[in-house]
Amino acid sequence: MTAPHTAESAHTAESENNEEKNDMVIARTAVIGSGLMGAGIAEVLAKSGCDVIVSEVSDDAVAAGRARIEKSLAKAVEKGKLSAAESEAALSRLRFTTDIADLADRQLVIEAASENEDIKKAIFAQLDEVVTDPTAILASNTSSMPIIRFAQATSRPERVLGIHFFNPAPVQPLVEIVSSVLTDPEVAETATTFVTEVLGKAPVQASDRPGFIVNALLIPYLCSAIRMLEAGLATKEDIDTGMVKGCAHPMGPIALADLVGIDTCLFAAESIYTETGDPAAKPPVLLSRMVDAGLLGVKSGRGFYEY
């Protein structure tokens, strides 16, 4: 005799189904772009045991990305943070391609292309066409751009969200999980579990607003420090020393702007200021002139300081 279908049994069945839905195991991953952030994210994924495909625009970009990851892993081995065997294992999990169609079977794709909205929208439209798994998660590593705009470039906006790593990705523990107004809560939950349990990072939940959590607070602070320098109120050394010695910050704001990237700071400030009108985020003229001069910070060898 079949047991009667009670409200309790229905609830149990529903709970079991929900557990199955949330039991997605992500193993096949991809990263779009292998610049400073993309290479770092790919390294994190590979060291965590994931199968990783890195997609780039050219063979030269592939060679540069591969070299960037190999150099980072070698440095980790040299510092004793990774064994030679672990480094080799991570490298064995990495593949590179210039054909985005090779990402067809991926379960998670993290876009880490340049901070250009049109470029990112085009990438998400391509991913929507080539990624065949209907449960795949499409994510952006953008530091400040609206996730909903990328989601709307796809036919599955509920499976698009932000997974924002911090530089350098192999070292920094924080990851912002950014849900748009259309992101399925289960997708955010799956991404959060993956970031925590597989990558060993510390995720925080952020709303889809300019700058999310960290940059919404950080960029106005950096702009304020640069305005102070621009006005001649203090030297860069004294500004940095003041915040390190006076506020126990690990790094002063001027040096931090160099580390983040002067161009990245400018883009984030423009994005936040344009959408919110917050005067604290209005980019200082000096910031724009630094970018015009190609003085981008650590990555170019010279910013406010020389490297």
DSSP summary character for residue 168? S
Q: State whether residue 29 is helix, strand or coil.
A: strand
Whether residue 143 lies in the annotated active site: yes
**Residue of 140, 143, 144, 271 marked active site:** 143
**Residue of 56, 115, 176, 270 marked active site:** 176
81/206 Cα distance (integer angstroms) = 31
Q: Omega before 168 cis (within 30°)?
A: yes
38/40 Cα distance (integer angstroms) = 5
CA Rg value for the chain: 21
Q: Supply 216's token pair.
A: 């919404």
Whether residue 11 lies in the annotated active site: no
Region for 106 from its dihedrals, namely left if φ exceeds 0, alpha if ψ lies in -120 to 50, beta otherwise: beta
**Residue of 34, 72, 164, 179 marked active site:** 164
Strands 108-111 and 28-32: parallel
Q: Pick from 153, 152, 278, 135: which is nearest to 215 by CA?
A: 278
Whether residue 249 lies in the annotated active site: no
The torsion angles phi and psi of 72, rounded to 5 degrees, stand at: -65, -45
Question: DSSP per residue over 146-192, as a string?
Answer: -HHHHHTTSS-GGGEEEEEE-SSTTT--EEEEEE-TT--HHHHHHHH
Type of residue at 283: P
Q: Pick from 165, 188, 163, 178: which is nearest to 208 by CA?
A: 178
**Helix spans in 194-284 (H):** 214-230, 236-247, 253-260, 262-276
**Residue of 179, 180, 215, 271 marked active site:** 215
Whether residue 176 lies in the annotated active site: yes
Type of residue at 214: V
Residues with catalytic annotation?
143, 164, 176, 215
